[in-house]
Amino acid sequence: MKRRELPATPDTLEAPAGSPGMPPARTEVWPVFAVISLVATFAFVVGYTYPALSFAMEAAGFSKTAIGWQTAMSGIGIAVSALLTPPLAMRVGAWRLGVATGLATVLLLLSFGLTEPGWAWYVIRFLLGMAISTLFVLSETWLNELAPPALRGRLVAMYTTTVAAMFGVGPLLIPYVGYEGSTPFVVVSAITALMLVPLYFIRTTVPPLERAPMQDLVAVFWIIPVLILAVATFGMFDGAIMGLWVVYVVDLGHSDHLASWTLGASILGNLFLQLPIGWLADRISRKLLLAVCAGAGVGGAALLPWLDLGAFYIWPYLMIWGGLCFGTYTIALTLLGEHLSGARLVAANAAFGLMWGIGAVVGGAAAGGLMDGVGPVGLPAFITGIFLLLFVATVLIAPVRGVARRTSG
């Protein structure tokens, strides 16, 4: 008897059949939208707070090293939270944990407007890093569980495109709302609260997180070493660019507004390139694509000291360079969902959050110290070095090895 296939509806996404006679894969639209909204919250908060707080600290007379370490506090919080999220999700429930950390994010943003730049901000940024990291780990795990294999590259690209867009919205908001006093943080916290609303409507539809024993967390570092390095590299790049790009541009003699707009350009380039990168990731070698993106990171950063940041050509240059650098993360996340599931996937997402956090710590602190030592050129020099390491590792080492798709704890 011939199997009757249901037509796709506006509430589903459909992928081509894997083989003749097999029905197409479908995934529900609304849970995917809500999960993407959750990670958009994470990206928006990072996108605004990194440059805004750097501007505020520089205006208050802090050194670049101090600004770098203050930026690193978010990374430390992200790294710590990445380890705590899986066991906490098992204890209180993943959805409840997402709601709690979402509310904490809103309150912590408000607290910046009630305190002066200084030691209090170090503590607040650490706690904020913990809160937003939970949103990051939950959203990545849910997305990879919800995405059918045939659509994985494109859904991940939609996800990372949203991340890129919201990373870009943050700095572009600075010229309009500012970074001094309480008003900017009231506005940003209100926007954040609105972005968390879709989380309420998926309380019964998102999959629970499986238990991820510590041995699984250790195992993924052996199984996906290049992917772990790719996320760490992206974290270092993100921490350095988001925390110190505006300082770099101002040190070269340009205005605060140009610093914010050029940062926004480098991030918004991700918006246009992640879908093409995801489309390619479903059709050609993902290892080759990762190497191309890493190589672009090397070349683009190495040329920065010779470019005029006030020239018209800098806008498309930064957009393409930033988009390809961000592509390393898109490809790593696609490969992760392709090869891991269940407890191993939860452990790997926790490892991604951990390495992103550690990378942000290293990126902000090392780039800030290098800039204090050798001047503005320290920022592009640092970025060139980290992407060169990733490029060499991608060429020499298999991105995934010895994988068994472990599906239970």
pLDDT digits (tens, 9 = 90+) for 221-255: 777 888 889 989 988 998 888 778 888 888 888 88
Three-state helix/strand/coil letters over the chain: CCCCCCCCCCCEEECCCCCCCCCCCEEEHHHHHHHHHHHHHHHHHHHHHHHHHHHHHHHCCCCHHHHHHHHHHHHHHHHHHHHHHHHHHHHHCHHHHHHHHHHHHHHHHHHHCCCCCCHHHHHHHHHHHHHHHHHHHHHHHHHHHHCCHHHHHHHHHHHHHHHHHHHHHHHHHHHHHCCCCCHHHHHHHHHHHHHCHHHHHHCCCCCCCCCCCHHHHHHHHHHCHHHHHHHHHHHHHHHHHHHHHHHHHHHCCCCHHHHHHHHHHHHHHHHHHHHHHHHHHCCCCHHHHHHHHHHHHHHHHHHHHHCCCCCCCHHHHHHHHHHHHHHHHHHHHHHHHHHCCHHHHHHHHHHHHHHHHHHHHHHHHHHHHHHHHHCCCHHHHHHHHHHHHHHHHHHHCCCCCCCCCCCCC
The whole-number pLDDT of residue 385 equals: 95
* Alpha-carbon torsion, ordered 352, 353, 355, 359, to 10 deg: 130
The whole-number pLDDT of residue 121 equals: 87
Distance CA 40, CA 320 (A): 21
155: exposed, middle or buried (Cβ count in 10 Å: 0-12, 13-18, 19+): buried
35: exposed, middle or buried (Cβ count in 10 Å: 0-12, 13-18, 19+): buried
Beta-carbon count within 10 A of 187 CB: 17
Which residues touch 158 (CB under 8 Å, ≥6 apart)?
36, 274, 275, 278
Q: What is the pTM of this model?
A: 0.67
Residue 215 confidence class, pLDDT cut points 50, 70, 90: low
Distance CA 260, CA 257 (A): 5
The whole-number pLDDT of residue 16 equals: 44
First to last CA, the chain: 39
Residue 3 confidence class, pLDDT cut points 50, 70, 90: very low
Domain boundaries 28-396, corresponding CATH code: 1.20.1250.20
The whole-number pLDDT of residue 49 equals: 86
Rounded average pLDDT over 153-173: 77
The amino acid that residue 47 corresponds to is G
Q: Which has more pLDDT, 391 or 20?
A: 391
Structure tokens that stand for 48 in this block: 């605004």
The whole-number pLDDT of residue 337 equals: 67
Q: What is the mean pLDDT of the chain?
A: 79
Residue 199 confidence class, pLDDT cut points 50, 70, 90: confident
Give the angle 28-132-357 at the CA atoms, nearest 5°.
110
> Would you say 378 and 68 are in contact if contact means Cβ atoms under 8 Å apart?
no
Distance CA 329, CA 307 (A): 26
Structure tokens that stand for 89 in this block: 């999700």
Distance CA 97, CA 62 (A): 35
Domain ranges of the chain: 28-396
Which residues touch 404 (CB under 8 Å, ≥6 apart)?
none
Which residues touch 184 (CB under 8 Å, ≥6 apart)?
52, 113, 177, 178
Beta-carbon count within 10 A of 107 CB: 12
The whole-number pLDDT of residue 26 equals: 47
Residue 1 confidence class, pLDDT cut points 50, 70, 90: very low
Q: Quote the percentage of the chain above a pLDDT of 70.
A: 82
Distance CA 242, CA 364 (A): 9
pLDDT tens digit sequence for 6-28: 344 344 444 444 444 433 444 46
Tokens 């930026």 map to which residue?
71
The whole-number pLDDT of residue 389 equals: 95
> Would you say 52 and 41 are in contact if contact means Cβ atoms under 8 Å apart?
no
Residue 298 confidence class, pLDDT cut points 50, 70, 90: very high
The whole-number pLDDT of residue 211 equals: 59
Distance CA 323, CA 107 (A): 32
The whole-number pLDDT of residue 10 equals: 40
pLDDT tens digit sequence for 345-362: 777 777 787 787 788 778
